[in-house]
Structure 1
Amino acid sequence: MSYNYNHCTLMGRLTKDPDFKQITESFCKLTFILAVTRRYRKDNGKNETDFIPITLTGNIASVGSQLLTKGAPVLVYGSIQVRNYEKENERRWATEVLAENFQILNKKKHTSEELSSSNINSSTEESS
């Protein structure tokens, strides 16, 4: 029996507008940095902030490109991916969150179509 489980939930704000890329005709990717404040405070009383790379793919990336903007407060649900690569003969590591779903937290009113679209997750597209 395996006890492995890779799931994370993050709440933060986008540091800038997301970057949308149409990779192929049927596959797209959306990336952004999420600023997440830690509960831990430094000696000076200020909270520390982590800047976490987030990647959405497929249908949820399309939806995110229409709804997510700089400064937007969001909840992101996904899994952590750690990968390595070589650059200039040096091994480097990258850690990011592969988002399965997101929820916008601000009070801005969206149309009912936008709200239903923002609850789409990547598992719905996999079953298609």
Structure 2
Amino acid sequence: MNTLRNSVRLVGNLGMDPEVKTFDSNKKMVRVSLATNESYKNDKGEKITDTTWHNLVFWNTTAKLAEDLLKKGDEVAIEGKLANRNYVDKEGVKRYVSEIVVNDFLKVGAKG
């Protein structure tokens, strides 16, 4: 049950090509944004779609797979955990970031 304490599962479309970063220690990191859509009908019966953007981070082996297999527009299912961090930007302002560290992913509708 401990794995349920911080577990995220999403299906959506990538908003960008993978952004790859390799560190001195040969660790690899990939960042992408994922859009999830939720649709409903308003009081007038009109279909409304709300889009939420999520920041995804892949590490090491999963990062290499993401770099090789994913591109902007792909529909993917991901499983990971929510991570929060902060940093100080160039202007000295403390910024807070929430992102999903991906453990596993699947291209939805992919052939083969």
On whether the aligned pair clears a TM of 0.5, the verdict is yes
Which residue of structure 1 aligns with residue 27 of structure 2? 27
Q: Which runs of 5+ in 2 are unaligned?
A: none
Instruction: Kindly indicate whether residue 64 of structure 2 is the aligned counterpart of residue 62 of structure 1.
Output: yes
Q: How does the TM-score come out when normalised to structure 1?
A: 0.74
TM-score, length basis structure 2: 0.83
How many residue pairs were aligned?
107
Alpha-carbon separation, structure 1, partners of 2:24 and 2:79: 25
Task: Tell me which of 71, 74, 98 is aligned to 2:73.
Answer: 71
Say which is worse superposed, 38-47 or 77-86, in terms of deviation.
38-47
> What secondary structure is seen at the aligned counterpart in 2 of 1:11?
strand
SS of the equivalent of 1:46 reads strand
Instruction: Give the C-alpha shift of residue 41 in structure 1.
Output: 5.6
- Give percent identity, aligned residues only: 25
Judging by fraction of residues, say which structure has more strand. 2
Structure 1 gap segments, 5+ residues each: 110-128
Tell me which residue corresponds to 1:48: 50
